[in-house]
Amino acid sequence: MDQKDIDTIINIFSHIMGIPKNELNDSIAYNSHPAWDSLKHLQLISELETEFDIEFDMDDIIAMENFGLIRELTAKYL
């Protein structure tokens, strides 16, 4: 995964969750950030899959509980 891919993930995540890019960090998590709910999670997964032309395994989608894990688990497919 190169810097361009990382930037793409940041852009998609920031756009869907409504969190400014400069406020993003790896510890932003599903169970602590009010904007992150299951519908937004689904939308995030769909956009990442479309953008990178990949299909996540279910267990990876479940495990993406914070922004750091989203970057790490997406990298497995690139």
Partner 1 sequence: MNFANYLLSRANNNSHPLIFSGVEQVSHNESYLIVNRLATSLVEKIGMGKTVLLLADNTTFFIVTYLAIIRSGNIVVPIDPKSPEKDILYFADICDFAIIFTQDKYSIKIHSMIPGIDIVTEKNYRSLSKEVSLLPETSDEDLAAIIFTSGSTGEKKGVMLSHGNLIENTASILEYLDLKATDRVCVVLPFFYCYGLSLLHTHIKAGGSVVLSNHPFIGGALRDIDKYECTGFAGVPSTFQILIARTKFLTEKLPTLRYFTQAGGKLPNKFIRMIAEAFPDKKFIVMYGATEATARMSYLPAEMCLSKIGSIGTGIPGVKLKVVTEGRDVQPGEVGEIIAAGKNIMQGYYMDPQGTDEVLVDGWYHTGDLGTVDEDGFIYVVGRSKNIIKCGGFRVSPYEIEGEICKIPEVEDVAVVGREDNILGEAIIAFIKSSTSDPAALQKTVQEFCRRMFPSHKIPQEIHILKELPLTSSSKVDREKLRCMVE
Distance between CA atoms of residues 74 and 62, nearest Å: 13
Q: Does 74 bind partner 1 (CB under 8 A)?
A: no
Q: Crossing angle of helices 3-17/67-75, nearest 10°?
A: 140
Q: Does 75 bind partner 1 (CB under 8 A)?
A: no
Structure tokens at 76: 């497995």
Closer CB to partner 1, residue 8 or residue 36? 36
Burial of 43 (0-12, 13-18, 19+ CB in 10 A): middle
> Which one of 6, 42, 54, 75 is in contact with partner 1 (CB under 8 A)?
42
> Which one of 9, 36, 48, 67 is in contact with partner 1 (CB under 8 A)?
36
Residue numbers at the binding site for partner 1 (CB under 8 A): 18, 30-32, 34, 36-42, 45, 58-59, 61-62, 64-65
